[in-house]
Chain A
């Protein structure tokens, strides 16, 4: 059974129609790249998938049922902007996640903190952007979720941190789970994708298996993306 299906999603803010009827299917055990320029509607789509926004039209099913509390417990979401209390220490953020999510593994989180050289005593306010991104990702990847929704996990960090983040994602998502990753750094991410969805002007302009698209277009996903959105 499909893990998540978005059917005919429409969303407007005032007179601006961000999504004009988007269909996306996420199968189990897949990594899907959600690609689009800034303002293409990626973050809106993620918020809809997380039940943080209500669509004007269309519906989203998780394992065949409308999304809600039940799906939220199985979906681990990395928002584009941090929602952590910046006055907290890392250890406090861990306690917060442990309390909030039954599938959160504090052991895994502590292990990842060590690997990525973060200290529980650090206060979030005092951490660099790159460190905050790492922390956020550690928290999200330490859940044993069915679906990880990662909105720009590589946003605003230096290249070596990007590699660390990609390795952390690849090493830690639960076996059989799926990931949806939005990014505009396509060259960095494209090799870890099974499937690609390119959003343009509020609709899905291109979708398919990454390797099939490469063979068909004789081009990288990055190149296909640039041809599509220009």
Chain B
């Protein structure tokens, strides 16, 4: 966790940015499977954000199964590597989709996009 750096854009909900940042941390391996997350208060101080925002983000990731709670020890990154892989693919697909939409927005056809991608 110590390696994770936080940067926020004040023009968007901090909560969603934190969820995304931690999700990326998990799928990229910055946050290793089974590693312990800081407490809500520690996370809030580290990222200099509101503690309830930190709590909400952790809860959301826990609901998705990416984090789990050990009653007295705090929250940990899931050891379910298949789940992490699926999550990574989902994030990658979302990025690709955004990228495709943008290119279509500037008038590129599917074929032109394919070609551009291969030539890269």
Q: Are B49 and A211 in contact (CB under 8 A)?
A: no
Cβ of A131 under 8 Å from chain B: no
B contact residues around A163 at 8 Å (CB): 48
Bin chain B's interface residue count: 10 to 19
Knowing A171-B41, A211-B53, the reply to whether A191 touches B11 (Cβ < 8 A) is: no
B contact residues around A31 at 8 Å (CB): 50-52
Knowing A170-B44, A220-B10, A221-B10, the reply to whether A191 touches B15 (Cβ < 8 A) is: no
Q: How far is the CB of B110 from chain A (nearest CB, A)?
A: 31
- Closest A residue to B6 by CB, please name it: A191
Within 8 Å by CB of B11, from A193, A194, A218, lies A218
Q: Please, how many angstroms separate the alpha-carbon atoms of A31 and B41 in the complex?
A: 13
Q: Please, how many angstroms separate the alpha-carbon atoms of A170 and B8 in the complex?
A: 17
Q: How far is the CB of B74 from chain A (nearest CB, A)?
A: 15
Within 8 Å by CB of A192, from B12, B15, B16, B48, lies B48
A contact residues around B53 at 8 Å (CB): 194, 211
Cβ of A51 under 8 Å from chain B: no
Binary CB contact string for chain A from 183 to 204 against chain B (1 if under 8 A, 0 otherwise): 0000100111110000000000
Q: Are A30 and B12 in contact (CB under 8 A)?
A: no
Q: Are A30 and B52 in contact (CB under 8 A)?
A: yes
B contact residues around A29 at 8 Å (CB): 52
Q: Are B11 and A223 in contact (CB under 8 A)?
A: yes
Q: Are B13 and A170 in contact (CB under 8 A)?
A: no
Q: How far is the CB of B90 from chain A (nearest CB, A)?
A: 22
Q: Please, how many angstroms separate the alpha-carbon atoms of A218 and B8 in the complex?
A: 14
Cβ of A122 under 8 Å from chain B: no
Cβ of B14 under 8 Å from chain A: yes
Q: Are A220 and B45 in contact (CB under 8 A)?
A: no
Cβ of A167 under 8 Å from chain B: yes
Q: Which of A167, A175, A214, A221 has the most CB of B within 10 A?
A: A214
Knowing A167-B45, A170-B45, A171-B45, the reply to whether A214 touches B12 (Cβ < 8 A) is: yes
Cβ of A121 under 8 Å from chain B: no
| Interface positions of A from 153 to 194, Cβ below 8 Å from B | 163, 166-167, 170-171, 175, 187, 190-194
| Interface positions of A from 121 to 174, Cβ below 8 Å from B | 163, 166-167, 170-171
Cβ of A222 under 8 Å from chain B: yes
Q: How far is the CB of B42 from chain A (nearest CB, A)?
A: 9
A contact residues around B48 at 8 Å (CB): 163, 166-167, 170, 191-192
Q: How far is the CB of A179 from chain B (nearest CB, A)?
A: 10
Q: How far is the CB of A177 from chain B (nearest CB, A)?
A: 11
Q: Please, how many angstroms separate the alpha-carbon atoms of A190 and B9 in the complex?
A: 11
Cβ of A210 under 8 Å from chain B: yes
Question: Footprint of B on A, CB under 8 Å?
Answer: 29-31, 163, 166-167, 170-171, 175, 187, 190-194, 210-212, 214-215, 218-223
15 more contacts with CB within 8 A, not counting A31-B50, A175-B41, A215-B12, are A29-B52, A167-B45, A170-B41, A170-B44, A171-B45, A187-B10, A191-B14, A192-B44, A192-B49, A194-B53, A211-B14, A211-B16, A214-B12, A218-B11, A222-B10
A-B contact pairs, 8 of them (CB 8 A): A31-B50, A31-B51, A187-B10, A191-B49, A191-B50, A192-B50, A211-B13, A223-B11
